[in-house]
Chains A and B, each alone.
Chain A
Amino acid sequence: MTVVPPKNVLLALVIFVIALAFVPLSADKYWVKLVTRMFVLGIFAMSLDFIVGYTGLVSFGHAAFFGLAAYVLHLVSREDEAVNLLWALPICLLASGLAAAVIGALSVRTRGIYFIMVTLAFAQMLFYFFHDSDIAGGSDGAFIYIKPVIEIGNVPILDLDERGALYFFSLVSLVALYAFLVMILRSPFGQVVQGIKVNEHRMRALGYNTYYYKLVSFIIAGVLGGYAGFLFACIDGFVPPELLGWRESGLALVMVILGGVGTLFGPVLGAMALLGVEELFRERHIFGPLTAHWQILLGTFVIVVVLFMSNGIGGQLLRFSRDQKAGER
């Protein structure tokens, strides 16, 4: 588990982030949207890595908190005017947090394979709830007609509808939340949680009530997953029930392993890579008639990643950086 990456990797990431800041200036709307989606899914994947890579909880239901926040944004949004992010976002985070608290309280009692199945089951329960009921459009999905704004008093500060606004807000959020998670991982809580991942039995023998630490970890991840869901809903303004589904949860795990489990920055790169690969698989110039059935390509890609790249992009970067350091001595 890497909490703070070594200096050279960190430097490369900072340069990467700065370069990304220039994208909206030159690229057209389609690419700006795509990269915004990459940031948002990066937050989603990073929050999942927090529990998978640092607490040892493999959740196959993380999309529940992602999709729930998106739906709550729809429910609090109005058709005629924009809501204020300053109260809308906390409400969505609270919803995701509460859901994580309830689901977590039950799920964290289980271990290993049970935990995977139970988290999948609870997420699916939420999926059916939104899919079958007509609270929010049922299987057709729900719409967010006007993107939120940030207003203090009556003074508008940021309108997420403006060109580039959502892009920068997402990028800044990604960096800020990354720093937030690093802070938590360096704290005593973070050390305990990592200890639980390595040897939970010994942690209990040392006197830690590991149940509560795992639960809090699960809730933190759920809240951050909700943050990502809130932003995701803003990108296209459309919230389908599939956002809560097993496919979304599975793809989130793919991002984590593709990026590097337990690297924190890796899954962000994994999210970007996966979105890029999905774009690629739909490219007629390269894949011709296969693009109609790009899911086969995606499935094959997932299998290849698991078999041959299981330490992920981030893992490879860290190894490369270690070899560099060893070479220099």
Chain B
Amino acid sequence: MTTPLLATCDLSINFGGLLAVHNLNLEVAMSQVHAIIGPNGAGKTSLFNLLSGDLKPTHGQVFHRGEDITGFPPYRVSARGIGRSYQITNIFLEFTCRQNCWLAARARRGSAMRFVMPAEIDKDTAEGTDKALAMTNLTDLANMPAQAMSYGEQRQLEIAMLLALEPEVLLLDEPLAGLGGNESQAVIDLIRRLAFDHGIVLIEHDMDAVFAIADRLTVMVNGEMLESGTPEMIRASENVRQAYLGDELDLETRA
């Protein structure tokens, strides 16, 4: 039994009486896509905040490759190779597409306390930046200021930054939100490719996409895990149907 890439043990956070996440146990392995689904307010983003270090749990632990990283601040979590994309686009609007990725790529390459040589000189970082841009088809937009990009392009940039970070664990918070058909498919294909050599945790509402790419699903309701299992198990579960999927699956079969 290999150590999971990322795991939590009874992870909980209590916001002054509101248990946003309660006794959550999660495991992600390398080359696995683990999707977290559930109604709005179920605590999915709070869970991500706990995993990324943006929030400190009131109870429970987070493990990375078996090592306890509970309570690590975001910069330490990120430095360990756990990268996160955001539901609400969280990029550097004032900078160009390339500069956005550069900051992510540079973070990967040691201390940036270098004061003399211009930033462009570093070939290694430039290559990392170009690679991330290429993987998300943003190479042509490299010199465009991020605030001038369309919503869909900005969501691509959000992912590009994550890729430039070269993490081994990807936490993707609703990467498909607000994307049109083609853009959506491009992201789904990208996630499929990435799944080969990364561990991915995915929050999504697009059930077609989730069932198409997830290896494992965890359903969260009111901060707790309702059920966790393979897509088939979840699809067949009566609990899940009642709590969340019922309407969605009926619509599917009718269509």
Chain A residues proximal to chain B, CB less than 8 Å: 1, 183-184, 186-192, 194-195, 198-199, 201-210, 212-213, 216
Classify the secondary structure of A's interface with B.
helix
Task: Report the separation of the CA atoms of residues A209 and B113 in the bound assembly, to the nearest whole angstrom.
Answer: 11
Whether B252 is near chain A, meaning CB under 8 Å from some CB there, is no
Would A205 and B103 count as touching, CB distance under 8 A? no
Would A184 and B115 count as touching, CB distance under 8 A? yes
Q: Which of B54, B73, B119, B165 contacts A206 (CB 8 A)?
A: B165
Would A188 and B119 count as touching, CB distance under 8 A? yes
Would B108 and A195 count as touching, CB distance under 8 A? no
> What string of 1s and 0s marks CB contacts (under 8 Å) between B163-178 and chain A?
0010000000000000
Query: Which residues of the partner chain A approach B79 to less than 8 Å between Cβ atoms?
Result: 207
Residue of B84, B92, B108, B115 with most chain A CB atoms under a 10 A cut-off:
B115
Task: Report the separation of the CA atoms of residues A195 and B146 in the bound assembly, to the nearest whole angstrom.
Answer: 13
User: Which positions 71-121 of chain B face chain A at CB distance < 8 Å?
Assistant: 73-75, 78-79, 84, 90-95, 99, 102-104, 106-108, 112-119
Would B118 and A186 count as touching, CB distance under 8 A? yes
Would A187 and B75 count as touching, CB distance under 8 A? no
Chain B residues proximal to chain A, CB less than 8 Å: 52, 54, 73-75, 78-79, 84, 90-95, 99, 102-104, 106-108, 112-119, 122, 161, 165
Classify the secondary structure of B's interface with A.
loop
> Shortest distance in angstroms between A120's beta carbon and chain B's nearest beta carbon?
28
Would A204 and B122 count as touching, CB distance under 8 A? no
Would B114 and A187 count as touching, CB distance under 8 A? yes
List 10 A–B pairs whose Cβ atoms lie within 8 Å, in order of A's numbering: A183-B118, A186-B119, A187-B115, A189-B112, A191-B99, A191-B102, A195-B95, A199-B90, A206-B103, A213-B113
Query: Which residues of the partner chain A approach B119 to less than 8 Å between Cβ atoms?
Result: 186-188, 190-191
Given contacts A191-B99, A192-B103, contact A183 B116 (CB under 8 A): yes
Given contacts A191-B102, A201-B90, contact A207 B95 (CB under 8 A): no
Would B78 and A199 count as touching, CB distance under 8 A? no
Nearest A residue to B116, CB-CB: A187
Would A205 and B94 count as touching, CB distance under 8 A? no
Would B74 and A204 count as touching, CB distance under 8 A? yes
Query: Which residues of the partner chain B approach A192 to less than 8 Å between Cβ atoms?
Result: 103, 106, 112
4 additional contacts (CB under 8 A) given A1-B94, A191-B112: A184-B115, A192-B106, A207-B75, A207-B79
Would A204 and B73 count as touching, CB distance under 8 A? yes
User: How many residue pairs bridge A and B at CB < 8 Å?
Assistant: 84
Task: Report the separation of the CA atoms of residues A179 and B90 in the bound assembly, to the nearest whole angstrom.
Answer: 33
Query: Which residues of the partner chain B approach A195 to less than 8 Å between Cβ atoms?
Result: 92, 95, 103
Given contacts A201-B90, A206-B103, A216-B113, contact A188 B122 (CB under 8 A): yes
Residue of B74, B90, B94 with most chain A CB atoms under a 10 A cut-off:
B74
> Shortest distance in angstroms between B46's beta carbon and chain A's nearest beta carbon?
16
Task: Report the separation of the CA atoms of residues A317 and B35 in the bound assembly, to the nearest whole angstrom.
Answer: 52
Query: Which residues of the partner chain A approach B114 to less than 8 Å between Cβ atoms?
Result: 187-189
Would B118 and A205 count as touching, CB distance under 8 A? no
Would A206 and B92 count as touching, CB distance under 8 A? no
Task: Report the separation of the CA atoms of residues A94 and B179 in the bound assembly, to the nearest whole angstrom.
Answer: 55
Would B74 and A205 count as touching, CB distance under 8 A? yes
> Shortest distance in angstroms between A179's beta carbon and chain B's nearest beta carbon?
12
Task: Report the separation of the CA atoms of residues A195 and B114 in the bound assembly, to the nearest whole angstrom.
Answer: 15
Query: Which residues of the partner chain A approach B117 to less than 8 Å between Cβ atoms?
Result: 187
Nearest B residue to A211, CB-CB: B75
Given contacts A186-B118, A191-B99, A191-B119, contact A206 B104 (CB under 8 A): yes
Would A210 and B95 count as touching, CB distance under 8 A? no
Would B92 and A198 count as touching, CB distance under 8 A? yes
Task: Report the separation of the CA atoms of residues A184 and B117 in the bound assembly, to the nearest whole angstrom.
Answer: 8
> Shortest distance in angstroms between A224's beta carbon and chain B's nearest beta carbon?
14
Query: Which residues of the partner chain B approach A212 to less than 8 Å between Cβ atoms?
Result: 113
Nearest A residue to B120, CB-CB: A186
Query: Which residues of the partner chain B approach A209 to less than 8 Å between Cβ atoms?
Result: 75
Nearest A residue to B79, CB-CB: A207
Residue of A188, A191, A202 with most chain B CB atoms under a 10 A cut-off:
A188
Task: Report the separation of the CA atoms of residues A183 and B117 in the bound assembly, to the nearest whole angstrom.
Answer: 8
Given contacts A187-B114, A187-B115, A208-B75, contact A203 B94 (CB under 8 A): no
Nearest B residue to A209, CB-CB: B75
Given contacts A190-B119, A199-B91, contact A204 B75 (CB under 8 A): yes
> Shortest distance in angstroms between B48's beta carbon and chain A's nearest beta carbon?
11
Task: Report the separation of the CA atoms of residues A96 and B202 in the bound assembly, to the nearest whole angstrom.
Answer: 50
Given contacts A199-B91, A207-B75, contact A191 B103 (CB under 8 A): yes
Nearest B residue to A210, CB-CB: B75
Would A188 and B94 count as touching, CB distance under 8 A? no
Task: Report the separation of the CA atoms of residues A210 and B112 in the bound assembly, to the nearest whole angstrom.
Answer: 11
Task: Report the separation of the CA atoms of residues A82 and B115 in the bound assembly, to the nearest whole angstrom.
Answer: 34
Task: Report the separation of the CA atoms of residues A1 and B119 in the bound assembly, to the nearest whole angstrom.
Answer: 16
Query: Which residues of the partner chain A approach B95 to less than 8 Å between Cβ atoms?
Result: 194-195, 198
> Shortest distance in angstroms between A200's beta carbon and chain B's nearest beta carbon?
11
Task: Report the separation of the CA atoms of residues A190 and B79 in the bound assembly, to the nearest whole angstrom.
Answer: 20
> Shortest distance in angstroms between A24's beta carbon and chain B's nearest beta carbon?
34
> Shortest distance in angstroms between B69's beta carbon and chain A's nearest beta carbon?
14
Given contacts A191-B102, A191-B119, A207-B78, contact A202 B112 (CB under 8 A): no
